[in-house]
Amino acid sequence: MNVLPPALLRAYEETEYHVGGDTPLVLRIGQHSAALKALHQRYAVACSAVLTAANPHSQLHDPASNALRQRGLAHDIAALGLPCVDARGQHPANGWPAEASFWVPGIDIQMARQLGMRWEQNAFVFCGADAVARLVLPGCGKPGSKA
């Protein structure tokens, strides 16, 4: 079971997840996004996730190490035959550096969970057909799980 300290869980929930590409948007945990719904339609998918390989287990790593990890994650995503769009997670106020991420349209929650665990992440963002961003802890049961 994956249990995070309350302050760390709150930081994940408060983080803004910026999706780049030609139609940039910001995802916030627990909020519906009409822009995301439109992006799902554009990609003809029912779900997506924001994934990173940076700073495993919320331990700050140097930029070169994080970049190498991100390249590995990009390789894993490509091996699944899925597209990805550059993204980043940025807390609006706590000073933690922005984390390079990927928005992955069409990835299902099981595969997103496997990648999160492979890349030693405490959490990732999953967005279902309702276009609501949900925090998922890879060691837990379902979207929205917190412990």
Q: Which amino acid is at 112?
A: A
Question: How many CA atoms are closer than 13 Å to the CA of 61, on its beta-carbon side?
Answer: 19
pLDDT by residue, tens only, the chain of 147 residues: 457 889 999 999 999 999 998 889 999 999 999 999 999 999 999 999 999 999 999 999 999 999 999 999 999 999 999 999 999 999 999 888 999 999 999 999 999 999 999 999 999 999 999 999 999 998 654 444 333
pLDDT given at position 133? 98
Query: 102 near 116, Cβ under 8 Å?
Result: no
Domain ranges of the chain: 6-136
pLDDT given at position 59? 93
The H or E element spanning position 107 is: none
The pTM of the full predicted model, rounded to 2 decimals, is: 0.91
The rounded distance, in Å, linking the Cα atoms of 70 and 89 is: 13
pLDDT given at position 95? 85
Q: In the 8-state DSSP scheme, what is residue 56? A: G
pLDDT given at position 143? 42
The token duo for 141 is: 């049961």
pLDDT given at position 3? 75
Longest dimension (CA), the chain: 38
